[in-house]
A and B are shown apart, each in its own frame.
Chain A
Amino acid sequence: MTSLLTVRGIVKTFPGVRALDGVDLDVAEGEVHCLLGQNGAGKSTLIKVLAGAHQPDAGELTWAGRPVAFPSPHAADAAGIATIHQELDLVPGLSVAENVVLGHEPSRLGFTRLRDAEALTRGLLLRLGHPEIPPRREVGRLSAAGQQVVSVARALARRARLIVMDEPTAVLDPNEVRNLFRVVRELTAEGVSVVYISHRLEEIREIGDRVTVLKDGATVARDLPARTTPTAEVIRLMTGRPVEHAIPPPSAPPGDEVVLEVEDLAGADFRGVSFTVRAGEVVGLAGLVGSGRSEIVETVYGARRATAGTVRVRGRALRTGSVAAAVRAGMGLCPEERKSQGLLLHESVARNVSLPALGRFARAGFLGPDAESGAARAVMARLDVRPADPSRPVRTLSGGNQQKVVLARWLLHGGGVLLLDEPTRGVDVGARGEIYALIRQLAEQGVAVVVVSSEIPEVLGLADTVLVVREGRVVHTAPAAELDEGKVLDLVMGAAHV
């Protein structure tokens, strides 16, 4: 294996934060090199250094045997490094072909040659195993998986020798993940290198060649064999301590009081959904992306209008399509997209936490200067939000701590029903265990919890009762104890896949 990229002793500081503090990384030609680390370990900053978006304060980069610097994203691009970000950076209003050639449009006398671009795109899509994507289709109309394929095609169109993929499977269903892995294997067979970032350790085992682990901005282990390094060892390296991220079992059976009743609920993407949640019960919704599971939860919450059916909290029917009514009845939602749906990123933690309960800290609408910071501090301490400073802007927190802020919001509001949509997405292993423990603790205090997750072990571990959702219908309901991962997977995928 010849080395393509060597990174030595990279340091990057921002005012008040040392984001990278001695990072080493070796990527060989044609390998899938996995980058592991908790949120805040420095992965994102490292990617930005590789992409030329940040300039390191110290350290060396060697690219194909020669020392280099990437003073701008353009320089990294010209050298052959392409980055596929978590939030895809395609132009939704342009066609697939226009996106693929964006910035490098084939042209003659200043006129772009769209036909050449389309032919090139068609060839690349064929090579990626997706001939069904039309080059003229508007990118905004493709699925998340389709858009990701377009991003890979764009990287290839620029003759990238190294493709950095930041959590590429976060928005994909198992079939699409399989397809992506096939693409990655074909690329590496052709000598392209991939730096692969994911929180899912199973994926790394499946696709990775070698692993480098970051912790607190420094490399703590590099070039571990991806397939044979024990999971416990990887987690120990990432957290600095042996971590039990198993989900604590329920200590007591749920109560008898029915808190949430959903009856024959229907919306644009689903119908005929009925279930009940008792006080202290955790109900899990398992299903693929696009199965309707998030739509169901959002409709229960009033964020989407129901076309039929009723939602009752403690026997009282809620007005459909009104989040305010649901919140008044004691419901809270931790939405799927934390940053775009959950947080006021510019505001402080205290202001994020107090948002639904703000009226409680006011007298006749008037608020003191720090009306809620005491209450915010208390609930932050209970959830161990770090740093424990209510005045800190929420955007400076790691993903796991941001999720705790959203949870803290509903803990402070104190309703009896909590709806959690993908509560551990983008959350590192350490914080994940804390969130599981917290969900368990809330249930034991009598909160009725609904959990939606693409991770089947998570649903099985947390839930008392599991509903399997497929194509907008609940296809199976059973106590979690009677199910196992394989069975749920079969149900989730449908009979055709069994």
Chain B
Amino acid sequence: MSEQTTVSAEPMATEEPAAGPSPWSRLFLGGVGHNLGLVAVLALLAVVGVATADTFATTANLLTILTSASIIGVITVGATFVIIGGGIDLSVGKLMALASVWATTVATQSFGPWVMVLCALAVGAAGGLLNGLLIAYGRIVPFIVTLAMLISAQGLAERISGRRSQIVTDPTIAAIATTRLLGIPLLVYLFAAVVAIGWVVLNRTTFGRRTFAIGGNPEAARLAGLDVRRHTAALYVVSGLCCGVAAIMIASLTTTGSSTHGTLYELDAIAAVIIGGTLLSGGRGTLVGSILGVLVFTTITNLFVLNNLDTDVQNIAKGAIIVAAVLVQARARRSTP
């Protein structure tokens, strides 16, 4: 089901407004066509996978890929909103760590699973709101604000947890990662749900449309009567909320809340957004591209694990892919006047 959701989201993911005479031409020119390069890379990786490891094409392995994509995927949804809106959020990984720690203290856990979930979402949203207020109303550049948030969130998470991993004792939260519906892990459904909601908000609401406008030309958006500052602040709240969701997912998967969670997630998320075709300067991009970017990275990791290769080589490969993807996109853009 989750795979279907992702796939069926693609045809509609056209960011160019419906020009095509038929839905089919729209599918190819807009959604898939936009991300054709990434689909090709994924296909290539699949071929390499099948050729090098017998276990690659098994259902179990494909579900492993999706499960490990789910947490960074949820964070990437929030990062896509922020980047299309012309900003950047470096604090995502540590905001998630802070939310995981806060939601798994002995005190929070004593109130039960719902309070733990609410706590994680509230911590994420509050961190995002503070980012947003400082950027939009304090007029400090996003890079600096969210870098500061990354550092402080790390510190606060260490302070609350005493630098220890907090074990998740609540059975409901612990069960999220182990539950399967129709053979597919619940984490994958959560990931799919966040992507679906994100896609609808970005492409089918005034909020999404205004995000593109503000990222594309903030001055024009302001002079058209949009409340650019309030909207900018809201984008960081969206990113923070995604961190809150991811915090519950990672707490369940690792059965711990820890300040060491999410290290360098911000770079993975930004890299996925960029290779997904979103302009780092804002105003243009697709959520489907970002998700394909996450899947590319996760599949590479999977291939390296299956073939018992070192992570250092893996990182070199990831870096090369980022450069190659951006080169291809730049060339594609230049060919249109």
Chain A positions within 8 Å of B, measured between CB atoms, are: 14-15, 17, 19, 301, 303, 323-324, 326-328, 333, 335, 340-348, 350-351, 355-356, 358-359, 362, 365-370, 373, 389-391, 396, 409
Contacts and interface: CB of A to CB of B under 8 A. Distances in A.
B337 A348 contact: no
B205 A362 contact: yes
Contact of A366 (B19, B205, B213): B205
B209 A367 contact: yes
A437 B70 CA distance: 58
Interface in B195-220: 200, 204-207, 209-210, 212-213, 216-217, 219-220
B335 interface: yes
A356 B224 contact: yes
A358 B206 contact: yes
B217 A373 contact: no
B220 A341 contact: yes
A57 to B, nearest CB: 13
20 contacts: A15-B337, A303-B222, A328-B225, A342-B223, A343-B217, A344-B217, A344-B220, A345-B217, A347-B213, A348-B17, A351-B213, A355-B224, A356-B224, A356-B225, A356-B226, A365-B205, A365-B207, A370-B17, A391-B17, A396-B337
Q: Chain B contact residues (Cβ within 8 angstroms of A): what range?
A: 20 to 34
B210 A358 contact: yes
Contact of A346 (B19, B206, B216): B216
Interface centre among B16, B210, B225 (most CB of A within 10 A): B225
B94 interface: no
Contacts of A15: 335-337
Contacts of B19: 389, 391
A358 B209 contact: yes
A378 to B, nearest CB: 16
Contacts of A343: 217, 220
Nearest to A14: B337
Interface of B: 12, 16-19, 200, 204-207, 209-210, 212-213, 216-217, 219-227, 283-284, 335-337
Q: Which 9 A-B pairs give the minimum distances between C-beta atoms?
A: A327-B225, A14-B337, A391-B19, A355-B224, A344-B216, A356-B224, A356-B225, A365-B205, A362-B206
B222 A369 contact: no
A367 B206 contact: yes
A340 B204 contact: no
Given A15-B335, A17-B337, A301-B223, 6 more contacts: A323-B225, A345-B217, A366-B200, A366-B204, A389-B19, A391-B18
A367 B206 CA distance: 7
A409 B224 contact: yes
Given A15-B336, A344-B217, A369-B204, A351 B17 contact: yes
A348 B216 CA distance: 12
Contacts, number: 95
Nearest to A349: B17
B337 A350 contact: no
Contacts of A356: 224-226
A350 to B, nearest CB: 6
Contacts of A368: 204
B219 A341 contact: yes
Contacts of A340: 217, 219-220
A370 B20 CA distance: 12
Given A344-B220, A362-B205, A365-B205, A373 B17 contact: yes
A344 B217 CA distance: 6
Nearest to B279: A346
Contacts of B12: 369
A102 to B, nearest CB: 24
B284 A346 contact: yes
A203 B220 CA distance: 32
B219 A324 contact: no
A346 B210 contact: no
A15 B333 CA distance: 12
Contacts of A369: 12, 17-18, 204
Contact of A373 (B18, B204, B221, B225): B18
A301 B284 CA distance: 28
A359 B204 CA distance: 12
A362 B201 CA distance: 12
A358 B284 CA distance: 19
A279 to B, nearest CB: 21
Contacts of B224: 327, 355-356, 409
A393 to B, nearest CB: 8
Nearest to A361: B206
Contacts of A389: 19
A350 B207 CA distance: 17
A324 B227 contact: yes
A347 B283 CA distance: 9
B48 to A, nearest CB: 34
A390 B205 CA distance: 19
Given A323-B225, A328-B225, A370 B18 contact: yes
A14 B16 CA distance: 20
Contacts of A327: 224-225
A17 B205 CA distance: 34
